[in-house]
Structure formats: structure tokens, C-alpha cells
Amino acid sequence: MIPATTGRRRLVVLLALPVAATLGAALATLPSASGQEKSPAPQTAPYLPSISDMMIATIQPRHRRLWQDWKDKDWAFAAYELGNLRGAFRRLGEAHPKENDVSLPDMIASVTGQPVDELTTAVRSKDDTKFTKAYADLTDGCNSCHQAFNHGVVVIKVPSGAPSFDQDFTHAAP
Ligand code: HEC
């Protein structure tokens, strides 16, 4: 025979279970102790620089520097900068494969491909005439793309005047 006390205890336990479940559900919907709803951790959207961000950050300064390197007759630095400019255009095309339904990598190749190749040859052979011609062609390439994408307000020119940079380009030759 089961003692009466054990039976009563079992009854208490059985009654307590649904109460605890209900209370638990109610607590789950209550605001947390701090009085604020617990929201899921914020999702940070990956930052994709826009075409103009990349122009200002990765293309324009290298176009400018390349000219400065030539003026300083720092051919080693010109070769370095030209390689970086080529890479920056490649990454631009990878990040933005299409703009207004036009393939950006194709456009980049068609307007900058030849001048960049000619600049490479000019820098290798330290040829001033070839360099200035190819540099002007590259600059025309910048502008023809801007016009093609209806951004003709962005006009790039062969630099003139003293550089106003925050980098010292008068480093010792390697
Ligand atoms: C394949 C096309 C293409 C080529 C080549 C190109 N650009 Fe651009 N560039 C653009 C487009 C498109 C924009 C406008 C982007 C926007 O505002 O949405 C732009 C904008 C710019 C801007 C303005 C950015 C701003 O926010 O004010 C600068 C500066 C610029 N380009 C520099 C250059 C230079 C320098 C070259 C050449 C070395 C060059 N670009 C070559 C497509 C090109």
C-alpha cells in the first residue's frame, strides 16, 4: 500500500508541471530584466565600395602618382604604380561586373588596355615621348568611359602644377 503522504506529493508534482510550463512560456515573452526586448545580434552588411568610391580611392590617386613618378624620373616607382593601377582596374571590374547593363571589365579593357600596355613599354624603356603619349591616351580613356556612362562632368586631365600630396616622394633611390 502506498502511504498517503507519497500520493499527495505525487499530486503536487503533477500539478506543478503544467504551472511551470505556463509560467515559463509567459516569462519567455516578457521583456528581459533590463527592460529591453532582446533583439538578435545586428547583421553587418558587407561594404561594397561603389564605382565612384573606387575611382577616388584606387584609380585617381594612382593616375596622378604615375605622372608624378615620370616627372621625377622615378621609373621604378612608375612601374610599381602602373602595376597597381592595372590591379585596381581589374578589382573594379570584379566588384562591379555590370553598370547600366554594360560589362565594366570589357569597357575597362577597351579604353585602358592599350594605353596601359604602352605605358608599361615606355616605363621599361624609360622613353619620355612614349610615356607622355600613352599617358594622354590613358587620360582620354578615363574620359571616354565617363562620357559613355553619362558622367561627363567627371573630367580627368594630365596633371600640371605642384603636387599636393601627403606622401614624401623624394625618397632615396633603392
Ligand atoms: C570603365 C569605365 C571607367 C574608366 C575606364 C574610368 N572611370 Fe572613372 N568613373 C566611371 C564611372 C561609371 C564613374 C561614376 C560613378 C558614379 O558616380 O556612380 C566614374 C567616376 C570617376 C570619378 C568621380 C568620383 C567622385 O565620386 O567624384 C573620378 C575622380 C574618376 N572616375 C577618375 C577616373 C580616372 C582618373 C580614370 C582613368 C585613369 C577613370 N576614372 C577611368 C567609370 C570609369
Segment 126-168, tens digit of pLDDT: 999 999 999 999 999 999 999 999 999 999 999 987 766 655 6
Domain count, the chain: 1
Q: What is the average pLDDT across 106-134?
A: 98
For ligand 1, which residues put their CB under 6 angstroms from it?
50-52, 55-56, 59-60, 63, 99, 104, 107-108, 111-112, 138, 141-142, 145-146, 149, 151, 154, 156
Rounded to 5 degrees, what angle do the CA atoms 124, 134, 94 make?
A: 90
On average, the pLDDT of the chain sits at: 83
Q: What's the pLDDT score for residue 160?
A: 86
Asked if 102 contacts 110 with a C-beta cutoff of 8 angstroms, the reply is: no
Q: Which stretch of 38-42, 64-68, 125-129 has the lowest confidence by average pLDDT?
A: 38-42
Cα atoms found within 13 Å of the Cα of residue 84, Cβ hemisphere only: 16
Asked if 110 contacts 145 with a C-beta cutoff of 8 angstroms, the reply is: no
Residue 36: inside a domain: no
Residue 17: inside a domain: no
| CATH number where 137 lies | 1.20.120.290
As a three-state string, the secondary structure of 124-173 is HCCCHHHHHHHHHHHHHHHHHHHHHCCCCCCCCCCCCCCCCCCCCCCCCC
State which ligand 1 atom lies nearest to the alpha carbon of 93: 1
Which range marks the domain in which residue 101 is found? Answer: 51-148
Residue 28: inside a domain: no
The model's pLDDT over 75-86, given as tens digits with 9 standing for 90+, comes to 999 999 999 999
3-state SS class at 99: strand
Cα atoms found within 13 Å of the Cα of residue 126, Cβ hemisphere only: 6
Q: What's the pLDDT score for residue 170?
A: 72
